[in-house]
Chains A and B, each alone.
With several copies, the nearest count.
Chain A
């Protein structure tokens, strides 16, 4: 993969999907391989649809995963059902793979009355407790400092549960990256730190985040394992995470995984990358698109066909259309929801404020 070369460590990143679309010894069930690919397709389609919805003013915002689907789905698929996945803001595909219904995701996108988070957060800031999926937070990197606590708690409870926490390469500059990795090292927490190095933090290139040779090499500073993987190779990502998961199970502690990938789209619907990066840079990464790459592998194994592609794409499109239609028609959350969940029980001052808000709504 040409575009990776410039960011390779001496050993080069882990790759499994070869240029001839073959891959040796893939220990993943065919059904799961298909499900992984389907989820990547779903994410790709959703991105497309949601960006259009935003342009039409029907939702206010979307932050997509275009080009990063292999890194996201490959990693989520390598975890076990009881494991915890703590997201950054681009990993809706991980949540969907784990079972979060499309409807729940779209309820958040529209911030409607059925949004499990009651329209309190922006689009793409969902929470999926029922699927052991975390709660999206905008502040970059905060989840990195929390994940070791979850992982250590699971270990202390004797649960065979590991924590997968996502973030971008920009997040590695925050203090929270440092303290999270450092605590995980000291406490041998069963935690997998998964960095999507997609080349950019909004307009800032990865080369401006750090002068270190790679993100993976930072593991040395914390006494944890460090792995660099071709993030557009879904099988390599799966393998790297599964191996890190094994280390967790064996009590060997945390791993920092750097998945080399690329943000093919804008940072979010609020952004236009033409202001800071050249099309020439993007082009080779388009050629390295993880979806056709994975599809070619599946096809040569006879696990996927043009007919499958057509059928599944149609399925996905109609699922999305239907879910949007339902989600969009739902009303906003009730006024009361504004004052709930600040505390377990509403204290006197929020009770007063709720009554004031209610009066104003009724009078105005």
Chain B
């Protein structure tokens, strides 16, 4: 076991996989010599050289297009998009090409690869350093979408993603990249992480807290706000079951539906804008599969339907007080 933050855990996963499998490589803007603007690929250039830790020209479309080509030929690229906000110049390559290659070729060609992208707000980054674009990719058939919330999961999920036969979009919640132990809070960051081989299977949610009154599903940085909210309302006797989805798609539907069947109430928390966000999918799934168990309307606690702001970002993101409010209202309904 070693104490790591998420960045270190990501770095550890990359290093281990690159040692294990010579076809694995990292690529992107500033990822090579410099080790990435968030330092996720630091040291890999020294250990594996410029052919496996690749500084690319400044083009996300080029990064993903080239990575698709590499993967098609048999390499296993882990491509970094410097901020999730900058994934859109590569959107066509991801949605029309990467996601459809296996299907359109009847399995003749595949491009298993991982796209890593730091996402989310909380660093005063405004419109273009704060977005949470997961819904776009969840809506796209052929992609898997993952977002860890803790160092151990970051490591285990990233290793699983690299080994997965399908393309994975791997979002990293940058607000909790470096951990931030907060007085009195459960902080699953700066955490003990297994050294060496450690995998967390894709498609399995984590039950972070058991409870019988409300089910709360969330992921990424909002896990920590949610756990804190659950802790606060527990003092009022409200027992919240907190589920960290970890793999967003394909989601662990059994964990979700099983819990809601038990609690009868459902709250989803995410930073991304509300309309057509992933919360809508989760609410609908639960309503389809546990309708008769629902005792209150499922609630969405999400970013507002505006571009991500700067000064007022704490009014934008669904922080603990808003989650507490939603839990109380849902429980009281």
Contacts and interface: CB of A to CB of B under 8 A. Distances in A.
Interface stretch (B89-97, B152-160, B178-186, B215-223): B89-97
Contacts of B108: 116-117, 127-129, 135
Interface string B284-325: 000000000000000000001111011110011000011001
B65 A139 contact: no
Contact of B310 (A121, A142, A186, A201): A121
A342 interface: yes
A156 B321 contact: no
Contacts of B253: 348-349
Q: How large is the interface on B (under 10, 10 to 19, 20 to 34, 35 or more residues)?
A: 35 or more
Contact of B311 (A119, A151, A175, A350): A119
A145 B97 CA distance: 11
B139 interface: no
Contact of A145 (B88, B93, B142): B93
Given A150-B72, A176-B65, A201-B29, A122 B105 contact: no
A350 B304 contact: yes
B321 A360 contact: yes
B85 A156 contact: no
A274 B152 CA distance: 31
Contact of A338 (B64, B89, B101, B306): B306
Nearest to A133: B108
B212 interface: no
Contacts of B304: 338-339, 350, 353, 357
Nearest to A344: B165
B43 interface: no
B126 A121 contact: yes
Nearest to A118: B106
B114 to A, nearest CB: 15
B275 A204 contact: no
A338 B126 contact: no
B70 A150 contact: yes
Nearest to A184: B66
Interface string A111-125: 110011111111001
A180 B306 contact: no
A133 to B, nearest CB: 10
Interface stretch (A2-10, A15-23, A166-174, A318-326): A166-174
A342 B310 contact: no
Contacts of B57: 170, 173, 179, 182-183, 186, 204, 208-210
B306 A339 contact: yes
A153 interface: yes
A157 interface: yes
Interface in A314-357: 332-333, 335, 337-345, 347-350, 353, 357
Contacts of A140: 58, 86
B66 A148 contact: yes
Contacts of B312: 119, 332-333, 335, 337-338
A149 interface: yes
B237 interface: no
Interface residues of A, number: 84
A157 B76 CA distance: 12
Interface string B58-101: 11011011111111111101000000011011001100110011
Interface in A154-198: 154, 156-157, 163, 170-171, 173-176, 179-180, 182-183, 186-187
A121 B107 contact: no
Of A122, A129, A332, A348, most buried by chain B (CB within 10 Å of CB) is A122
B110 interface: yes
A120 B102 contact: no
Interface stretch (B2-10, B30-38, B264-272): B30-38
A122 B312 CA distance: 11
Contact of B37 (A60, A270, A350): A270
Nearest to A203: B34
Contacts of B85: 138-139
Nearest to A170: B58
A121 B65 contact: no
Interface string B138-166: 00011010000000000000000000111
A149 B73 contact: yes
A250 interface: no
A364 interface: yes
Contact of A149 (B55, B69, B88): B69
B258 interface: no
Interface in B1-40: 29-30, 33-35, 37
B198 interface: no
Nearest to A130: B108
B55 A137 contact: no
Interface string A279-318: 0000000000000000000000000000000000000000
Contact of A122 (B71, B92, B128, B164): B128
B196 interface: no
16 contacts: A116-B106, A119-B312, A121-B310, A144-B65, A145-B62, A175-B59, A176-B93, A179-B61, A208-B57, A209-B57, A341-B103, A341-B106, A342-B102, A343-B144, A349-B274, A364-B325
Interface of B: 29-30, 33-35, 37, 51, 55-59, 61-62, 64-75, 77, 85-86, 88-89, 92-93, 96-97, 100-110, 124-129, 141-142, 144, 164-166, 203, 250, 253, 274-275, 304-307, 309-312, 315-316, 321-322, 325
